[in-house]
Amino acid sequence: MSGSGGEKSGTGGQSTPRRLPSSVHSAVPGRLACSVQGRDRGRFYLVVGTQGDNFVLVADGVVRKVERPKKKNVKHLVFYDLVAESIAGRLSAGRRVTNEELQSELENLVLAFEVSTTEKEVGLKT
């Protein structure tokens, strides 16, 4: 994965993504999260906002659109140290993000996550 697509933050593009504590402080805009509770268990999302101390707003651009993000308790999510920088910058600046952009960045991050996880399991270093 190179180019201007999904840039990774905090991983340097080489190491396995770390699992972060489930707290609203880990939930920065654009961060990759995976649901571990509820009927959406196993679905990946990007954080698009926070609501109070215990809830975040997440979207995937397909089932959960940017216009209607899912309110999710941080205890029901696992956060990873992968961030879609372009999405994070736009959300922080208060600019609009399209579902297509969010979906594309999410796919890039999930692919990076799966590749690094597979490499770790196999014992490969890139």
For residue 45, is it within any domain? yes
DSSP characters over 54-72: TEEEEE-SSSS-TTSPEEE
For residue 80, is it within any domain? yes
For residue 1, is it within any domain? no
Residue 116 pLDDT: 79
Q: Which among 94, 91, 3, 105 is positioned nearest to 62, based on CA atoms?
A: 105
Q: Are 109 and 117 in contact (CB under 8 A)?
A: no
Q: Are 53 and 43 in contact (CB under 8 A)?
A: no
Q: Which two tokens stand for residue 59?
A: 């979207």
Residue 36 pLDDT: 94
Residue 118 pLDDT: 77
For residue 8, is it within any domain? no
| CA–CA separation, 98 and 52 (whole Å) | 24
For residue 67, is it within any domain? yes
pLDDT < 50 positions in the chain: 1-14
| CA–CA separation, 110 and 34 (whole Å) | 10
pTM value? 0.77
Residue 48 pLDDT: 96
Residue 6 pLDDT: 42
| CA–CA separation, 82 and 31 (whole Å) | 6
Residue 125 pLDDT: 56
CATH number of 74's domain? 2.30.30.30
For residue 5, is it within any domain? no
Q: How many domains does the chain have?
A: 1
For residue 30, is it within any domain? yes
Domain range enclosing 102: 19-120
For residue 2, is it within any domain? no
Residues 6+ apart with CB under 8 A from 78: 19, 20, 22, 33, 34, 36
